[in-house]
Each structure stands twice: as C-alpha cells, then as structure tokens.
Amino acid sequence: MNNFIYAKQPSLPDDISRHGLFSGFKPSTVFLPKGFRVSETCAPLTVDIIYEKDVAVTLRDGTTIYTDVLRPVTEEKVPVIVAWSPYGKSRGNAPQYDDLFGLLGIGTSHLSGLQKFEGPDPAWWCARGYAICHPDPRGSHNSDGDSRWWSREEGEDFHDLVEWCGTQDWSNGKVAASGNSYLTASQWFMAAERPAHLAAIAPWEGMSDIYRDLIMRGGIPDYGFSETLRYAYIGKNQREDLIMDADAHPLRDSLWERRAADFSKIDVPAYVVASYSNSIHTPGTFRGWRSIASEQKWLRIHATMEWPDYYTEENQLDLLKFFDRFLKGIDNGWDDTPIVRYTLHDLEGNDRIGLVADQFPPKKAVTTRFYLDAAENSLTTASPEAGSLSYDATVPEGQVSFEMRVDANTAFVGYPRLHLNAAALEADDMDIFVLLQKVDADGKVLEQITVPNKGPQMFGMTRAGASILCYKGSNGRLRASMRHLDAEKTTEDLPVHSFDRVEKLTPGAMVTLDIELFPMGLLLYPGEALRLTIGGHNTLGGAMPGTKNLTPANKGRHVIHTGGDHASWLSIGTMPFAEE
C-alpha cells in the first residue's frame, strides 16, 4: 500500500480552447474515410480509419478506464502503439495547442489533428499498418478511480492496458509505446512491469525518477512545474499531489522510491531519444538509457526541443523502422543502426548531429580534470596554489566564474562533475547552482533557442525563464546538507546522492560537495572558452513560460576554496575534433 497523498481535483473552467474535436464522452465506433480532415489547418487522411471511441477497459482492481482506438481498415492483424497520458484523448487539435505550437514556430499542417498532445499521429501510423491507443488513465476525464502520477502503481495500470491491447481480435499481439514527456515517463514504469505483449518502447525525453528529476533536484525543493501540473487536466475524483507529498516527505524515502522506475526489470528493445537541453527531462532520459537491462537499446541525442524533433518526418521514419523490426518482425537492417548517435553543439549555427559511437560518452573522449584557480579565475589542468573566492548568495548577480580557452577544435562531451570545496559564512546550509557555458573569442556567452521561432519574442521570453526553449549550457545544483553520496551508485563520472539524510553545516566550516551536471556535447574552436559559473540563484529560471522559478534558502556569503590541500575541480570528457 502506498502512502501517496491525494487531493481533490481542481475545478477548471469549461474552456473551449482546451478541448479537442472529439473530447466529449460518447462510446461509439466511427468510420473516418480517406480524405477526412479534422479542420482546414490539418492534413487529410490518406487511408480509411476505424475510430473506436471511449472503449471501456477493466484494470486488475476492477477500475474502469476509457480509451480511444484508431486503426486501419484491414483484415490483417496489426500491432498497437499506446500513448499514455492524462491530458485528454484528442486534445492534440485543441486551439490551446495550435496556438502554442504556432508561437514556437512548429509547423503542424502535416499532422491530422487526431494525435494526443505530445503523441504519435494516428493518421500517419494507421497508413503504415499500426493501431494507436489513446487512454484516459485512472482518474482523468471520465475514467474511474483516483489519479496516479508517475509511479509503479501507474505502471501496473499501463501494464494492464498493454495486455488488453495485445489480446484484441484486431491485434497481432505486439504492443509498443511512444510520445514525449509524460508519454515517456510512463513508459519507464510500465516496461518495468514486463507485460507479456510488450514488444518495444520508444522513450522520447522524459523523467525517470520524480524526486531527482523534478520535485527535489539536487535536494532543493522546486515546485514550479508541479504547480502547473495540478491544472493540466480534469477528472472526476481525487489525484495524487506531488507537492503535498514533497512537503510531507522531503527526503528520498520509500514513497519516492516507488516514483523511480526499476530499470533492472526493463529488458525489451528500446529506442531512446534525448537532448542536452531539457531542464526537466534530460537527466532522467540519459539515466534510463544507461540503466535499463535491455540488451538491445539505442540512443539518439538531438539538437532541439523535443516537439519539433518528434514530429519531423525523418525521425518518424526512423522510429517506424525500429517498430517494424520489433513489432512486425521485418528484417529491415535496423540492427545495424549505430548504438549511439549524438550531437555536438557549436551554438554558432553549425551543430554537428548524427555523430556515431558505440557508447556515450564516446570512447575517444578522455575524462579530464580541470582545476579551479581562484587567483586567476581560470580552469587549469595543473592544481594551483591554495586560494578562495566568495560571493553574496542572497542576490541573483552573486556568483564567481572560472574560464579556460582552447587553442584547437575541442569537444567537451559526456557527464560533467564538479568537485567543490565550499563554505557558508553565516548559515548552516547553502544552495549552490552551477552553469557550464561556451564563450566565443570576443567574450560573448553563447546560447541557442531550441525551437524554430528564434525571433525577438522568443529571445525575450527565454531571458529569465522558459529554460526548455533555450539552451544556455550544462547546469547542476545541490543543497549542501543533502551532499551525502550513495557509494554503491556513484561512479567516477557520476555522483549519485542518497538524499536520505540532512547533514547541516557549521557556519564558516568547509565541506566537500560533488555536483552532477547535465550531460553535454559542446564544440569549441580556437580562441573560445569554457566558462564555469557558481552562484546562489537558479539563473535558468522556470522550465516553461509562466513556470515559477525556485526560491533558494541562502543567507550571507559563500566561499569557494581552490588549490592546495582543498583543490576544487571540474571533470569532463574531452577530445580533439576534426571534420571527417
């Protein structure tokens, strides 16, 4: 029995902008003919589709949920792709999302409008011999029960739907899952339940450990995005409340363990897609790829925000090849696909994408240690003499920086780790925020908007927030009292904190902190610099427009010690880069 805290569903206005064309509850079967169009802005269907609406599915505890099924008109049995999320079975054509995608410059005219938000387009997949299943999970919309958020319990519900899909008379018994964000996070939990009919998963950016990735990253409470989620969908009953859970369980106890996927149980083929730039999804996606037990797993690291990447025809064809291999048994050469395809950002309009390796980071990337030098504000490969710098942790501009220039094309790629000796002069704790950025030869810090709209509006929107929409560099954070490392899970490249205890500081006394930064791939040219900034505020801001930034619990000044017996250093994989 879990100890999750439930709250009453919020009352949402009956806002027509949030509704898709088929949002009403109406169990029925509809024939959508070739040429049918949801609206003038949507692409017409290229095949006939059977649309079964609000089909009742009974879960193992007797709870009834409702799902839509869209499948091609054929006598052949077809595989099924499930898009599991609570945002509504047909809200992909809602005006709210048309407006959002339009703002970001993401074209949707090639989509049918039958897709779930962040999910696969049924028209595209039905035309290629697949059925799409759009459930309303427990507690959302008209489905019964109280909602479950990203947990092993939700994984059990998803398991039951996979088994239902695999046993329908129109199904070939092979089931997969696809989609971004929630539609990825739910896959980790479902796959760990090992449903018999699950043939493959395709996690396309999404959290895998809710404590570490969302609500308490670095041991620092961060409720902004979780507040937004409280109003992300409607339902009849109660829902689990992540913020109330975090207030009642600030340490990573058994409650949060159930909100972390058991990767050791995931053994199906997996096509994992990640980026370096998603401030919510990046760590969990890379963790999932590294940790799952699947012997057949592939990683593709792209260079943009996930939505434009997911709906690009080239990438959908790549996913089709993967699904055809494992859901239809077609010998199409997928097995020769490189294990890793990665990106190196240059942030100057010439990102290198589709680079090939058999692991991440690539074998040729040598982990290198760069020492912080307080005397020169520099990063150096030789440990300097003892020194220190301090900053006022109570103001946003309070920070210190260290730089290193390169004299040849150099790629910094892998998992940055910061080993820091620091002290809080007037407090028994400190929240530290770290950012690793590229600086051009003229001293300009380089950033990159990750959506097609790169105009002034997007530039202004991402100055102090909307961090998912603008890549500013590899970031990390840690509350010093939560610094205890899990010795079994920590590696040379990746510090893993247990988050199961609070170890307060003595004001003025130095402590050693190991801080995990986001994985990165960054290409520098001669004369350019790598800059490490350490401060007391989250300069990235909230994840999406309107998402609140977190409030650090800092007082007074922080001191950073470098060199001598208390060397602080940054480690990251480096390799020379020459065009092939």
Question: Any idea which residue has 């370096």 for tokens?
Answer: 276
Number of CB atoms found within 10 A of residue 435's CB: 23
Number of Cα atoms under 13 Å in the Cβ half of residue 14: 2
For 72-122, the pLDDT digits (tens) are: 999 999 999 999 999 888 767 777 788 888 889 999 899 999 999 999 999
Is there a contact between 537 and 392 (Cβ–Cβ < 8 Å)? no
pLDDT above 70: percentage of residues in the chain = 97
| Annotation: CATH topology of 366-576 | Jelly Rolls (2.60.120)
Is there a contact between 436 and 504 (Cβ–Cβ < 8 Å)? no
The mean-pLDDT minimum among 8-17, 31-40, 88-97 falls in: 8-17
* Closest C-alpha among 144, 138, 198 to residue 167: 198
pLDDT, residue 388, reads: 97
pLDDT, residue 11, reads: 53
Taking the complete model, does pTM exceed 0.85, yes or no? yes
Q: Is the pLDDT of residue 493 over 70?
A: yes
Which H or E run contains 100? Answer: helix 95-104
Domain layout of the chain by residue ranges: 26-207+263-337, 366-576
pLDDT band at 228 (very low <50, low <70, confident <90, very high): confident
pLDDT, residue 545, reads: 87
Encoded amino acid at 223, one letter: Y
Q: Is the pLDDT of residue 344 over 90?
A: yes
Number of CB atoms found within 10 A of residue 505's CB: 18
State mean pLDDT over 282-304.
98
pLDDT band at 414 (very low <50, low <70, confident <90, very high): very high
Return the bridge partners of 478, or none.
432
pLDDT, residue 5, reads: 74
Is there a contact between 345 and 471 (Cβ–Cβ < 8 Å)? yes
State mean pLDDT over 148-175.
96
pLDDT, residue 580, reads: 65
Q: Would you give the DSSP letter of residue 454?
A: -
Backbone angles phi, psi at 177, to 5 degrees: -140, 150
Q: Rounded to the nearest 10 degrees, how much is the dihedral formed by the CA atoms of 216, 217, 222, 226?
A: -80
| Annotation: CATH topology of 26-207+263-337 | Rossmann fold (3.40.50)
Pairing of strands 78-82, 171-180: parallel
* Closest C-alpha among 182, 191, 259 to residue 225: 182
Is there a contact between 321 and 271 (Cβ–Cβ < 8 Å)? no
pLDDT band at 123 (very low <50, low <70, confident <90, very high): very high
**Cis peptide bond prior to 361, omega within 30° of 0:** yes
All residues at 6 or more sequence positions from 307 whose CB lies less than 8 Å from its CB, including other chains = 101, 104, 106, 118, 180, 451
Number of Cα atoms under 13 Å in the Cβ half of residue 317: 3
Q: What is the mean pLDDT of the chain?
A: 94
Is there a contact between 111 and 105 (Cβ–Cβ < 8 Å)? no
Return the bridge partners of 109, or none.
none
State mean pLDDT over 1-6.
66
pLDDT, residue 19, reads: 64
pLDDT band at 464 (very low <50, low <70, confident <90, very high): confident
pLDDT, residue 234, reads: 78
Q: Is the pLDDT of residue 2 over 80?
A: no
